[in-house]
Structure formats: structure tokens, C-alpha cells
Structure 1
Amino acid sequence: MAGQMIMIGFAHDSAKSEQQSRLVSLLETGQIGGVMYLKYNIKSLTDVANMNREFLAAGGRVQPLIAIDQEGGVVERLTKAVGFKEIPSARDVALNMDKNGANALYADLAKRMKKLGFNTNFGPVVDLLINKNNPIIAKYGRSFSSRADIVTKFATAFVDGHRQAGMITGLKHFPGHGSSATDSHLGFVDISNSWTQAEYEPFAALIANGKADMIMAGHLFHSGYVVEGEKQVPASLSPVALTTVLRNGMGFDGVIISDDMEMGAITKHFGFEEAIVRAVNAGNDILLFSNTVKPSLGLPKRILDVLETEATRDPSFARKIEASYRRIIALKSRLN
């Protein structure tokens, strides 16, 4: 059950690599539930297809999530350099297409990704374009619009297009990264004074319309999510953000996945064990580790040890693992 909660990145780019057989073994033995690609994992489309074929076979009856960030524009891991047709950024899509055109664009993208063996795309971005000088969202055209209704419309086209190909999507970055002045990849990001209630709206609308397969929790600090007397934690580690607001308030009972647990916003402020325990207690179902700080396929065992030790110590933590497992399996059942 705990293994299903772990998704990791890897360092190799070929099915012939010794690392590939070790990664496949982690999937076969249930120590991880999914893998994520970064750009350096993609040497050629043939190599990608071969690796994914082995990943899918290793999962047996329960498909592993094979995930990638393929938003369009700058944020694409599959590129024309390896022969993959790229698509425009979210901003360009919203400025130049209607919803039907966007749906066709994303359906074609998803079909081509599925053909390579991917089943999960970390998108759409549903952050609002609030801060025009935002260094990670606005700068790269990753937001559809400053208006919640327009973001919802094009995010729906993204989700529907991927569902037509049998792929899972992940809305990001809850509760909203569009107003931030800094980048959570690098360190602490405080949105307390810039965030607005409107940033909830695309998430709420997509949840209400059954368009939220998975939601990615951002490493974004908001003072409203802090329990009095508690340590300052980002939304991704906050029970107020993920359980009180997202689950209880918005009625989301799907899978919550953390943003990369190796980003500076986490690693510079929390220890390894503390971050994992806080993430699960907050309400995350899947812990995403890019495995880029000190790349090692021994990482899953370190994560599992923390999860199992805490589950033995705390029965309520064990119940959280069981609940996460149920949600993950329910999501994965749609892939079969």
C-alpha cells in the first residue's frame, strides 16, 4: 500500500541500462507505484517506448503511473529534437483557439503520448495569470488567463482531450501559483498577501464537473493555512489546505499528489522524514520525488522505511496510507 504512494524520477535513458532493470524490479515488487520522466530521460522516442513497455508490464494487474510534464510551450519534455511534434503554450492556446480547437489539439497530443506508453500528464496548469512578473508561471506562458472562467474552459478541453486517449491528468498547482513573486523550485514562496479567492475557482469548478483526476499540491505558503502554534508549512504539507479546504470544503476525494518533494521550498526547510510524515498527514496520496538531488534507486526504500515506521507508531497514519491506497487504485482502475 505504501509503495503505491511513491512516484520517482530516474537518471537513465535506455531500456538496455542496468538501472532500467532495477527500476522495473521496484515496480514488480510494489516498492513504487509510478515513475516520472524529465527531459534528460528522453534520448529517442524508440527508447522511451521501450522503457515504457517494460514499466507497464512490470505493474501486472495494477498499471504504474507513467508521468511526464507535457504542458505545451516551454514546459515540454518530449520535443521536436527527438521527433515529437510540439504544441503551443497554454497562453497561446487561449489567445488563438476556441474550446473545440483546444480539445482537438490536446486530444492529438494525448494520443501521441499514449502511443509511447505514457498514461499520465502533469497538466493542465489552472493557476490564474495574476502577477505578470511571476517567474515560473507568467514568464513561460503556462497560465491560460487571468480569468477563472477562461482557465476552466481551456483546462476542461485539456482534460477531455486526454481522457479521449485514456490518459490521466493532474490539475496544478493548488491553491494557486499565479500570484507568487518567487519560484518554489528555489525556496520558500509566500502568497499570503498576493493570493486571491478567485484562484480557488478553477479547481472548484473542475472538481464539481468531474474533471479532476488528480490535483497537485503546490509548495506555496499561505498564512491562512497555518494552525496556531504550528510551524509555517506550505500548502503541500498543510492539513488545513489539503484536508479542510480541498477535501472537505471542495468535496475532492480523488488523488492528491505533492509537487516534487526535492524542491527548495521543502528541502531547505524540512528534514527528509519530517517532510514525508507531514505530507501524508496533510492529505497527499502520492509523494513525488524527482530523484535529482542525489539520484539513487535506493530512494524508494528510504521513503518506504519512513512510511512503515510511522504507520507502526501511529495507527491513524496507517489508516491514511490505506485511504490513499484506495484512492490510487480507484484512479488506476480507469486505465485498464
Structure 2
Amino acid sequence: MRLFILAAVVFAQLSLPTMAQSLREKAGQMIMIGFQGDQASGQWHNGVKALAKEGKIGGVLYLKYNVASVDMVKRKNADWQSVVPSALPLLISIDQEGGKVERLTNSVGFAEIASAADVANSMNARSAQTLYENLGRRLAALGFNVNFGPVVDVNVNRNNPIIAKYGRSFSANPDVVTDYGAAFVKGHKAAGVLTALKHFPGHGSSQADSHLGFADITDSWRDTEYVPFQKLISQNLAQMVMVGHLYHKSFAEAASNDYPASLSPVAINGVLRQGLGFNGVVVSDDLEMGAITKHYGFKEAVLAAVRAGNDILLFSNTREPSLELPDKILNLLISEAERDPAFAQMIERSYARIVGMKGTLAR
């Protein structure tokens, strides 16, 4: 019996280094960045590898210009993943929705799929799940473990410049959106790839593109836009939720600020977590989109995003691309945590959620 206890203690001690120890390391798991270049060598590749190894980032985001070929992508992803603990795999993410929103294309040797709208119009949900499982397995084979989808925005505004225009919504019927969103999640889950419902609280009714500036949904938003989020959460099919830079007057007034949902504790901690019962990982939409950068300073956006309830802070790293960005974010987070114990607890909670989610990724 004593030998068993001793062995358990030794095992626990050996296991500890695989997890973050300091608050700074825990905060590092909250940071996901984009990068420059498309080769498995050079300044950016090696810089991202060092950031991952040092625990300064918890994930990376691919954009289309990061893809030279599927073989190069596979080499890059394997190299980065090789330097992090198996208990805390790097989240290697991509937007591979189908249709117009694909980073991997036929031109680089990756078979494309149809848009959400075309999928819903041409096949039933069971066939869609098979399609998305196949997509997930092909992504996993290249080393991706996150696909930022499904889009569960309801197609309320058929003239929407960023959702309807590109066929990104499955339907104007929230139940159809739910069914096909479930197919997307289940298919990827079977392939070992995490997904994120987007864009809470619903981008389908907007008349503006939040990439460019404020998307005010106060007058256009409909209660039905909650339905897919609510149902997929209740079905345990919400691994992550991505919150959009969508302004709604009711959120802002309740919090006495002018923040969009992505920076609003009313939207995230109030409606999404308490109201809809979501206990998983919340990821911000890109914090370098115009809706944020045109209205808020870097420090305000970062701290507000954490206080609102975001667990992962997503930066495309495209405005002023730099490998110093994670340190810049970390310095802000730790400085605020040292000043405010409640903020430090927010980092701890986010870290716990991220660790729990990463624990589902087999290595």
C-alpha cells in the first residue's frame, strides 16, 4: 500500500510540469494569435514555435495567406505541436466553413465543400453530418484541432453584407439552423476537431459588417436568433462559443457602457452563461476587427474582453504584425491581476475551462 501511495506521489510530481504553474503561464493559454508567412521555417515559424514552447500562447489562427500547400501546413502544425505538453496541446485553428469562407482551397490541394446555405438546400442533416465528418478528418490529418464554425446565425436579413451575402447561414428558420449546426458539430467531434458556435448573440440580422466597424443590431435583432445557441447548448453540442462584435443597446444600457457583446459582461456572463447555461469556453471574435480598433484602445479592449467573460482572446495579428504581441497582452493581464485579485480569479477560471476543453483532445 505504501509503495502504491509513493508511486502515486511520484507520478503526480512528474505530471505537474505538463500544466501551467504561474498565473502568467495560465494567462498565456488565453491568447490565440495569427501569424505571417507560409513556410515551416524562418522568423515567424520559429517565433510562433518559441511562443508555444514558452507558454505565451495557447493557440494559433490560420488565414489564407498562411497556406502554401497542404504538405507545408502539415509540417508546420506538427512542428509547433511537438514543443508543447500533451496535456496542453496548442489549439491550431482555421475558418473552414465551406463556400466563400475557406482558408484551404483546391488550389493548394484541399478539396473544398459547399457553403452552409448550399448544404442545407441540397442535402439532409444526416448527409451533412457525413460531409462535415469527412471535412473534420481531413483537417485533423493536417494537424488542425479547431474549426471555427458552425455559423449558427439565423438568416434574418437577406441583404446582410457578411452573412447572407456569402451563404454562411444555413437558413432563415432557426430550427433548420440548429439541425445543420448540430450536424457540423457532431461531424467534427467524431473527427476529433473542436468547433465554436458563432456569432453570439446573432449576426444574421445585422445591416453592417463588424470587420469594418460597429454592427448595431438594436433594431434588427430578433429573439429567434438565440434559438440555435440555446438548443445546441442544451444538447451539449457547444464546445466553444464565439462572441461577435455586435452592439445591442440593451446590453450596453444594462452595463452602463457602450460595449458590443464581445466586451459586455451582460451579454457573456449574463445572457450566455447564466441565461442560456453555457459553461464552456468563450472565444472572442478577432479583437483587431474595425468594430473594436475604431472605438477602443488596445488596453481597454483586452481588459474589457476578460472582464466580460471571454476565455480566449483572438488576435489575427494583422494590423501591426508582431511576435511581441503575446508579451504585450500578457503584461496587461498580469499587471491588472496584481492590482485586482478578482481579475486574477477570472484568469484562473478561464484557464480551468481551457484545460478542461484541451483535455478532450487526444494526443
TM-score range, shorter chain: over 0.9
Q: Which position in structure 1 is the counterpart of 2:34?
A: 9
Q: Which position in structure 2 is the counterpart of 1:220?
A: 246
Q: How does 1:124-163 map to 2 (within 5 A)?
A: 124-163=150-189
Check whether the contact 2:255–2:264 (CA below 8 A) recurs between aligned residues: no
TM-score by length of 2: 0.92
Q: Which position in structure 2 is the counterpart of 1:41?
A: 66
Q: Which position in structure 1 is the counterpart of 2:221?
A: 195
2:92 is paired with a residue of what secondary structure? strand
Q: Which position in structure 2 is the counterpart of 1:59?
A: 84
Q: Does 1:230 align with 2:256?
A: yes
1:262 is paired with a residue of what secondary structure? coil
* Aligned match for 2:97, one of 71, 89, 105: 71
1:52 is paired with a residue of what secondary structure? helix
Q: Deviation string for 1:73-105 (max 9, x for gaps)?
A: 000000001010000000000001001110110
Which stretch shifts more, 221-230 or 314-323?
221-230
| Distance of 1:122 and 1:302 partners within structure 2 | 25
Q: Does 1:167 align with 2:193?
A: yes
Q: Which position in structure 2 is the counterpart of 1:309?
A: 335
For residue 173 of structure 1, what is the amino acid of its counterpart? Answer: H
1:153 is paired with a residue of what secondary structure? helix
Shift of 1:18: 2.4
Q: How does 1:12-23 map to 2 (within 5 A)?
A: 12-23=37-48
Q: Does 1:30 align with 2:43?
A: no
Q: Does 1:300 align with 2:338?
A: no
Q: Which position in structure 1 is the counterpart of 2:120?
A: 94
Q: Which position in structure 1 is the counterpart of 2:3?
A: none
Q: Deviation string for 1:251-283 (max 9, x for gaps)?
A: 101000000000000000000000000000000
Gaps of 5+ in 2: 1-25
For residue 275 of structure 2, what is the amino acid of its counterpart? Answer: G
Q: Which position in structure 2 is the counterpart of 1:114?
A: 140
| Distance of 2:273 and 2:147 partners within structure 1 | 22
| Distance of 2:198 and 2:125 partners within structure 1 | 20
1:66 is paired with a residue of what secondary structure? strand
Q: Which position in structure 2 is the counterpart of 1:257?
A: 283
Runs of 4+ in 1 over 2 A off after TM superposition: 227-231
Q: Which position in structure 1 is the counterpart of 2:21?
A: none
Shift of 1:197: 0.6
| Distance of 2:183 and 2:84 partners within structure 1 | 30
| Distance of 2:315 and 2:185 partners within structure 1 | 24
Q: 1:174 to 1:318 in 2, by over 3 A?
A: same
| Distance of 1:179 and 1:229 partners within structure 2 | 23
Q: Which position in structure 2 is the counterpart of 1:318?
A: 344
Check whether the contact 2:255–2:265 (CA below 8 A) recurs between aligned residues: no
Q: Deviation string for 1:115-165 (max 9, x for gaps)?
A: 000000000000000101100000000000011100000000000000111
CA RMSD between the two structures = 0.8
2:158 is paired with a residue of what secondary structure? coil
| Distance of 1:212 and 1:284 partners within structure 2 | 15
Which stretch shifts more, 160-169 or 16-25?
16-25
| Distance of 2:70 and 2:340 partners within structure 1 | 45
| Distance of 2:232 and 2:338 partners within structure 1 | 37
For residue 138 of structure 1, what is the amino acid of its counterpart? Answer: A
Q: 1:229 to 1:13 in 2, by over 3 A?
A: closer
Which stretch shifts more, 54-63 or 260-269?
54-63
1:181 is paired with a residue of what secondary structure? coil
1:210 is paired with a residue of what secondary structure? coil
* Larger-gyration structure (1/2): 2
1:129 is paired with a residue of what secondary structure? coil
Gaps of 5+ in 1: none
| Distance of 2:115 and 2:255 partners within structure 1 | 42
Check whether the contact 2:132–2:187 (CA below 8 A) recurs between aligned residues: yes
* Aligned match for 2:294, one of 264, 268, 285: 268
Residues matched between the structures, number: 336
Q: Which position in structure 1 is the counterpart of 2:13?
A: none
